[in-house]
A and B are shown apart, each in its own frame.
Chain A
Amino acid sequence: MTDAARYEPLLSVRDLRTYFFTRSGVVRAVNGVSFDVFPGEVVGMVGESGCGKTVTALSVLDLIDPPGQVVGGEVVFNGRDLLKLGGRDLRRIRGNDIAMIFQNPVGALNPVFSVGRQLSEAILAHQDVSKQQAREQAIQLIERVGIPDPVRRLRQHPHQFSGGMAQRVVIAMALANQPKLLIADEPTTALDVTIQAQILDLLRELNQEYGMAVIHITHNMALVAESCDRTIVMYGGKISESGRTETVFERPLHPYTQALLESVPNLEDDEQDLVPLEGFPPDITEEWVGCEFEPRCAQRIDRCALENPALRDAEPGHAVRCHLY
């Protein structure tokens, strides 16, 4: 792909902190996350459940509801801090410049309206076109995402679509206003494997065709290796490692990344045993003194329990949050 580093970042997240103030304590779901996304780039965000991937994505769109709150940091998109925009300006960016798709595509569509109506409304919300033009665009979009018989399909309701077809509709809606950034939050988790591959191919095509940047949130390492330019590994609300996908997969530095890769079955080498990662994600209701991964880490040293490591470049463009480097 393009050499992304030459461009200004499209999205620049700095020291993002999103906390949830619950009865059982403050959950630090996102705790000082910084990353950049460059135009046209596909960034994979991996980590186990509850590590803060989805909350990061929703924070970028300033969509955190109470008891959650973005307590600090900035999200600069095209030179503007989205967290300070609010109101109409922010709504103009949502759905127009930044779109998002989800894990459960059928649930992401309103059950009482036809798919065509929902698609047309997404277009009409951001473009100054007539209803007729919106409908024509909707037909083109539905065709583009590979749904056969678009005219008939547009008249149908969400429950008449299978998961894969519904995800195509949701992607069509996301694409309706040609966004510059698409956040895909586990878009294939609820789909079976063959459909997964089709949806991923579609996303890659659209990324190349429209030059749309994609943040791909997933817990599937294989999927990241295959489709992302850059990889961000998250653990306990923080980034534990980030870098170009080849680098991260060939030379994983963080013990957590290494453990994740060892727990993925390798088809070419069936001699190699799978190594499960023992233990559970950290309790993020307390501020950790040491490293969040220390209790589960096989390579821990004395310092790990005493001091929280900072994210720093181990080599150019390859950052890791670990005392070993």
Chain B
Amino acid sequence: MADADLSQTVTLGGPSVPRPLAGRSRRGSAAGFLKEHLALSLATGVFMLTVVIAVLAPWLPIDDPIRGDILNRFLSPGSEGHILGTDSLGRDIFARLIWGGRTSILVGVAANLGVTVLSVFFGLLAGYLGGRVDGVIMRLVDVGLAFPGLLLALAILAILGPSIVNMAIAVVLSSVPLNVRFFRGEVLRVRSAKFVEAARILGYGKWRIMFREVLPNVMPLIITVTALHATSFFVFTAGFSLLGLGVRPPEPDWGSMIAEGLAAIYQAPAVLLGPTVLISVVAICFNVIGDEVQVILSPTESQL
């Protein structure tokens, strides 16, 4: 009931500090909603399109991304049968871009989901319960933060061995500590609000207060941080593949394509440019989605 109303009603005033009655009005029907949040609709549309294309890759009329035609290497974009040309082994760049998107997006989204769920959970526990729970979680976080993120991820990958799944695990484990810190801070802020005390006086249990009173108020930060991660995880996984620790050749993936493209930047610039442009586009989409959703959900942000 409340969720549907959020977009339309959160216009004025903050949670505790009453703010002046100024700000953007966000009223209207579902169609009006799309029109008003044009950037959000566009970004979501582009991202969904990318996902759909990646998912449908096996059924699309494109070339095999792995088997190359060595006689037709470095064909320039626009050649017959190869829209974006071919790479150093004569593989179709367009096909590799689409297949590569499958891995990149899957790892990016899965890692992001994993990081967010774990960090929010432990951040809530540490921030809300405090005391010994907080102590144990935060000391573990300190241990995690003592290692540089990339080094930690590399160490994990070195132990587990290079693979797509291990790459996701490495990204998750190396990013969780810092994010637990973020969310714990926000939980501490929300927890001191009067409505949390009011909830305790109403006889609500601690789990209920954590997940149903505090969590919704931490949501704006969660969305912002998640959107930010979307960008950095693409770059992160691309980096691993570039170092040869993620996706093993000849499997395509945007990161490893950039690595290959660097070596052949003059003969076939499309190998480098294709994934670079796609990573940028998806990253921008995520950021726009994150920003817009945050504005819609947060009663305070909506009128800043």
A residues apposed to B, CB below 8 Å = 61, 63, 65-66, 88, 91-96, 99-100, 102, 104, 106-114, 116-117, 122, 125-126, 155-160, 170, 173
Q: Give a binary string over B238-266; 1 marks a CB under 8 Å from any A CB, 0 the rest.
A: 00000000000000000000000000000
Q: Are B13 and A112 in contact (CB under 8 A)?
A: no
B residues apposed to A, CB below 8 Å = 1-2, 5-6, 9-10, 12-16, 18, 130-131, 193-195, 197-205, 213, 216-217, 219, 297, 299-300
Which residue of chain B lies nearest to A97 when distances are taken between CB atoms in the complex? B203
B217 interface neighbour in A88, A102, A111, A117, Cβ under 8 Å: A111
Which residue of chain A lies nearest to B194 when distances are taken between CB atoms in the complex? A107
Chain B: minimal CB distance from A90 (Å): 8
New A-B pairs, 4, CB < 8 Å, besides A94-B201, A112-B216: A61-B201, A102-B198, A112-B299, A173-B202
Report 16 cross-chain contacts, Cβ distance below 8 Å, ordered by A residue. A65-B130, A92-B203, A94-B201, A94-B203, A106-B15, A109-B198, A110-B216, A110-B217, A111-B217, A111-B299, A112-B15, A112-B217, A117-B2, A126-B203, A157-B5, A159-B10
Interfacial chain A residues near B200, Cβ < 8 Å = 63, 94
Chain A: minimal CB distance from B221 (Å): 13
Interfacial chain B residues near A95, Cβ < 8 Å = 201-204
Interfacial chain A residues near B195, Cβ < 8 Å = 107-111
The main secondary structure of chain A at its interface with chain B is: loop
Interfacial chain A residues near B194, Cβ < 8 Å = 102, 104, 107-108
Q: Are B299 and A99 in contact (CB under 8 A)?
A: no
Q: Are B202 and A125 in contact (CB under 8 A)?
A: yes
Q: Are A94 and B202 in contact (CB under 8 A)?
A: yes
Q: Are A159 and B14 in contact (CB under 8 A)?
A: yes
Q: What's the Cα separation between A157 and B195 when bound, in Å?
A: 13
Chain B: minimal CB distance from A212 (Å): 15
Count of chain A to chain B residue pairs whose CB atoms are closer than 8 Å in the complex:
103
A66 interface neighbour in B5, B131, B193, Cβ under 8 Å: B131
A112 interface neighbour in B6, B12, B16, B199, Cβ under 8 Å: B6
Chain A: minimal CB distance from B14 (Å): 7
Q: Are A114 and B5 in contact (CB under 8 A)?
A: yes
Q: Are B299 and A156 in contact (CB under 8 A)?
A: no
Q: Are B203 and A96 in contact (CB under 8 A)?
A: yes
Known: A111-B217, A111-B299, A159-B18. A91 touches B204 (CB 8 A): yes
Q: What's the Cα separation between A173 and B204 when bound, in Å?
A: 13
Q: What's the Cα separation between A233 and B15 when bound, in Å?
A: 34
B9 interface neighbour in A106, A108, A160, Cβ under 8 Å: A160
A106 interface neighbour in B5, B18, B204, Cβ under 8 Å: B18
Known: A63-B200, A110-B217, A112-B217. A91 touches B205 (CB 8 A): yes
Q: What's the Cα separation between A160 and B199 when bound, in Å?
A: 20
A107 interface neighbour in B6, B10, B16, B205, Cβ under 8 Å: B16
Q: What's the Cα separation between A13 and B10 when bound, in Å?
A: 43
Q: Are A125 and B203 in contact (CB under 8 A)?
A: yes
Interfacial chain A residues near B130, Cβ < 8 Å = 65-66
| Interface pairs A-B: 9 shortest CB-CB | A159-B13, A111-B15, A95-B203, A95-B202, A94-B203, A107-B194, A91-B203, A107-B16, A108-B198
Known: A111-B195, A111-B217, A113-B216. A106 touches B201 (CB 8 A): no
Interfacial chain A residues near B197, Cβ < 8 Å = 63, 102, 108
Interfacial chain A residues near B1, Cβ < 8 Å = 114, 116-117, 155
B202 interface neighbour in A116, A122, A159, Cβ under 8 Å: A122
Which residue of chain B lies nearest to A155 when distances are taken between CB atoms in the complex? B5
Interfacial chain A residues near B213, Cβ < 8 Å = 110
Chain B: minimal CB distance from A155 (Å): 6
Interfacial chain B residues near A102, Cβ < 8 Å = 194, 197-198
Interfacial chain A residues near B131, Cβ < 8 Å = 66
Chain A: minimal CB distance from B95 (Å): 46
Interfacial chain B residues near A156, Cβ < 8 Å = 9
B2 interface neighbour in A65, A108, A109, A113, Cβ under 8 Å: A113
A99 interface neighbour in B5, B16, B201, Cβ under 8 Å: B201
Which of A63, A88, A109, A111 neighbours the largest number of chain B CB atoms within 10 Å of its CB? A111
Q: What's the Cα separation between A126 and B217 when bound, in Å?
A: 24
Which residue of chain A lies nearest to B18 when distances are taken between CB atoms in the complex? A106
Q: Are A157 and B299 in contact (CB under 8 A)?
A: yes
Interfacial chain A residues near B216, Cβ < 8 Å = 110, 112-113
